[in-house]
Structure 1
Amino acid sequence: MPANQLAVVTGASTGIGLELARCCAQAGFNLVIAADEPEIERVAVDLRRLGSSVEPVQADLATTEGVDKLCAAVGDRPIDALLANAGVGLGKAFLDQDFARIKHLVDTNITGTLYLIHRAGNAMLRRNSGRILITGSIAGFTPGSFQAVYNASKAFLDSFSFALREELRDSGVTVTCLMPGATETEFFRRADMMDTKVGTEPKDSAYDVAKAGFDAMLRGESDIVTGMKNKIQTTIANVTPNEMLAKQHRKMAEPGTAKS
């Protein structure tokens, strides 16, 4: 196992990111973990009990300054695995959303993620060694009515991960895209979606999702859709007109669709 190798995990204070960090620690990676909330300090204490060195960084990865702070914490140490998981959601109709929250979503899910991967990826390419795991989503397969910007951001990441992997095909750097469905995390509460069907129905285990993605990254696979239901859903989405997909998404994500 990867003794003394370094993994960097973003969005690691809760949910899939926390479980990805746990997978790394269980596998013997040393860790630098990042999130934009003080909870990351407590997570570091817990993960150290697994025997790894864990350094927490509280930083807003929606900003270049936040990404620079994370990179400064890593310093000259080679990153063996970058698990780019930081992301936020946002429910309700696009025109009803606060634009500051829309911008923060784009800056977190897309701009900050790209900047971090660009910096870490260049260092990996110079060493001709490294693994990148990008948390995309099956949401990227569907025009997300009442989650329009979020789904679009995940479509971007899903597409980007495959393109970057191809560009790095002849190098020692691998890129894997983790594409989960609805997962039991803080995501839907933070996205103001607890009055929706998707926000209140049963969801996949965050640990199961993270473990599947982590294992796929170690194997150097291109992508993994977690869960049979989600695999079927993405297969159907590939042959369904976008207008129909958007109508179907409304039934899950429109405010007021939660079962009473």
Structure 2
Amino acid sequence: MEPEGFSPNCFTFTSLIAACANVAALQCGQQVHGGIFRRALDGNLELANALIDMYAKCGNIIDSQKFFCEMSCTNLVSWTSMMIGYGTRGYGKEAVELFDEMVRSGIRPDQVVFMAVLHACSHARLVDQGMRYFNCMLDDYHIKPNQEIYGCVVCLLGRAGRVEEAYHLIRSMPFMADEPVWGALLGACKAHNNLSKLGKFAAKKALALKPNMVETYVMLSNIYAAEGKWGEAERMRKLMKRAGSKKEAGRSWIEMHLMISRVIEKSC
């Protein structure tokens, strides 16, 4: 791009940072960060927020935290990005403390912030704190939760084994639950061996909303197999094939640049 006469700007670097974050390419992200610094763009708030997110998604929560603490100016996105970073890396306690600090500083949380702190509480199994924030969102800030937030609270309760409470929460929702919400309940039922009645009900609800979800078919087939109902288990497998669904192989990504460099040096 540069040989063509175009100089990168803040939008260019934000796009590059997002690309590095999506594939957890930490070394590339650090090089982009260096390019930002050399061009004296490091004071841009949007770029700073993107860097917080990038370092956290690359697993470098220490640098993400350090960068956040050194920012001369922050906004709601800055706090939210740091909370999401904490939550995705399993630092639930730190996310909760950051949320409380943000509120004390006078910043009013929005729906996205509550989603971030609830997600962090869910992964860290901080059920009581999570339910406190959920009730605070409703009672103190009068923010109406959407499907995603309800799904997160269902996960929060489900991880703690409170599947019946999660089911009653779904029934109390002011709108029809979507497939991810029922899927969250089904996952909780599977994790805590509560599959006989509630698990089947959640699976059937999820399939009614999204008939081609292969994971739901597989889970329902496994439920029947565990009960010795082999005919029903086979029927689920056939329904999955009839819907044109197949189980995709899992894939993962790991950055191997340094290891590859060492191999090349040794071979030379």
Same fold (TM over 0.5): no
Which structure: greater helix fraction? 2
Larger Cα-atom Rg: 2
Q: Which has the higher contact order (CA 8 A, sep 6+)?
A: 1
Which structure: greater strand fraction? 1
